A and B are shown apart, each in its own frame.
Chain A
């Protein structure tokens, strides 16, 4: 569905539900409502506050619902954040600006006594 089609579907649906009582929303207002709806849709399908009470990847439909916004990153320690360190050897990693929910994670560390060379396929 293109954004124009989404606007038409919104106006049509609202007229059908509310007859002539519905206000004539401006395009910017419809954008706002569609954005609110998109965020609510994602939250409801990430956790289980939806009709089927199934969360992210708990069934095929939920996997399909959110697969387009699933991202993966390999991050290196930040060289710009240095203050407020909890431990002298801890490391900061800057998250992407579009980060919302972390769903899976692991780390690679270097220890004096237990190193192995890893190759990470991406």
Chain B
């Protein structure tokens, strides 16, 4: 008879942090298990906006990660309790582990500093500059394809990087029933822009005048 269990690498996480569950089964082999959350956290509390799902099990092991979303509301002490299920997310519960506390803060023993964007070309010139280089009030940031490098003063180490960004929109798809990522009030404006692009292609003119079908004064 198969058995199911998991271990987790953290018991407390702050929002923006990740807990990893290592799932171990016996006599299950390879297949799919399902998980649900019986804690007080809801789907919106997680970065992937999910509160149940599946876990691929290969040779009796699998992994589940849950990253607490960063939100603006105070909801300290929420809980995450992962339940393992067979068959589906409403199937029989075969294991429920201990609670992970999800706090809306993280504690850092360090100092908060300004991040100054730097370019790769100017870095050599400024990294040792007493005014422009990193010190106890600022660090330099270099941007790469999918990561950043934070350069602190020589006697410091970097603990956390906190940032806000504009994300790429989810592509719309009629077959996938995915609509625009932006607010409802922008949708007609985007459709008008699509018509403009289509007309540009049809006419082969980039500077064609286009009057949208609705009042465009809300630009």
Contact = CB atoms under 8 A, between A and B. Distances in A.
Nearest to A61: B218
Given A50-B219, A74-B15, A116-B111, A10 B163 contact: no
B172 interface: yes
Contacts of B110: 108-111, 115-116, 118
A101 B15 CA distance: 22
Given A108-B110, A122-B105, A31 B165 contact: no
A107 B165 contact: no
A79 interface: no
Q: Which 4 A-B pairs have the closest CB atoms?
A: A74-B16, A37-B193, A37-B194, A1-B187
Interface of A: 1-4, 6-7, 9-10, 12-14, 16-18, 21-23, 25, 27, 30-31, 33-42, 46, 50-52, 56, 61, 64-78, 81, 85-87, 89-122
A107 B158 contact: yes
B153 to A, nearest CB: 7
Nearest to B191: A9
Given A52-B219, A101-B165, A110-B109, A90 B199 contact: no
Contacts of A81: 147
B2 interface: no
Interface string B97-121: 0000000111111111111000000
A114 B111 contact: yes
A122 B156 contact: no
A17 B199 contact: yes
A38 B166 contact: no
Contact of A90 (B70, B71, B158): B158
Contact of B139 (A23, A71, A107): A107
A16 B16 contact: no
A35 B171 contact: yes
A7 B114 contact: no
B158 A109 contact: yes
A109 B139 contact: yes
Interface stretch (B32-40, B57-65, B77-85, B176-184): B176-184
A100 B165 contact: yes
A20 B182 CA distance: 31
B207 interface: no
